[in-house]
Amino acid sequence: MWKGKLLSINIAQSESGEMITVDQIQAVPGKGLEGDRYYSLNKSLSENSEPETEITLIEIEAIEALQTEQGIQLSPKDARRNLVTHQVPLNHLVGKEFRVGEVTLRGVELCEPCKHLAKMTQPDVLPGLIHRGGLRADILQGGMIHKGNIIEE
């Protein structure tokens, strides 16, 4: 059994908007994180639509490996994921439920690096984050997420 920690919470108001780091945020099932770009997108979907990404996560270990292996320094918020974790095996959480403090999430799919991330940072970031670019998750039980929350299955 593993137990990890939430290092930072990051949101942006638009796809290309600056990522802002916050200490706490409200997670809403079916919508995402209040104030984040995905929240606004999901709010406008019809009831018959599947929501887009509700929340994204990335391991600090992947960001650190990018610097060690590729020489690319990326701040946690520049990875453009909502939650930055420590000691959480994100790749193993696809299809599984886990908790971030009082909030319950379900891993949906790996969040592979994309051309948009490369455009917002640098092109060489793509190969360095293949299969460790994070996780997309749905919010099953909402509530407040706080920086420093314990993350566990």
Residue 68: which domain range?
3-152
State if pTM tops 0.85.
Answer: yes
Average pLDDT for 76-92: 94
For 112, other C-beta atoms within 10 Å of its C-beta total: 14
pLDDT score of 79:
87
Q: Which CATH number covers residue 117?
A: 2.40.33.20
By the 8 A CB rule, do 136 and 56 touch? yes
Mean of per-residue pLDDT scores for the chain: 87
Mean pLDDT (whole number) for 15-29: 92
pLDDT digits (tens, 9 = 90+) for 27-47: 999 999 999 988 866 544 444
Lowest-confidence region among 31-45, 51-65, 66-80, 96-110? 31-45
* Weakest-pLDDT range from 10-14, 23-27, 50-54, 141-145: 50-54
Please enumerate, as own/partner, the contacts of 46-52 that have beta carbons within 8 Å and a separation of 24 or more. 51/138
Q: Which residues contact 85 (CB under 8 A, 6 or more apart)?
A: 4, 5, 6, 7, 57, 58, 59, 60, 151
Residue 40: predicted pLDDT:
61
Share of the chain above pLDDT 70, in %: 86
Could you give the number of structural domains in the chain? 1
Place of tokens 């566990």: 152
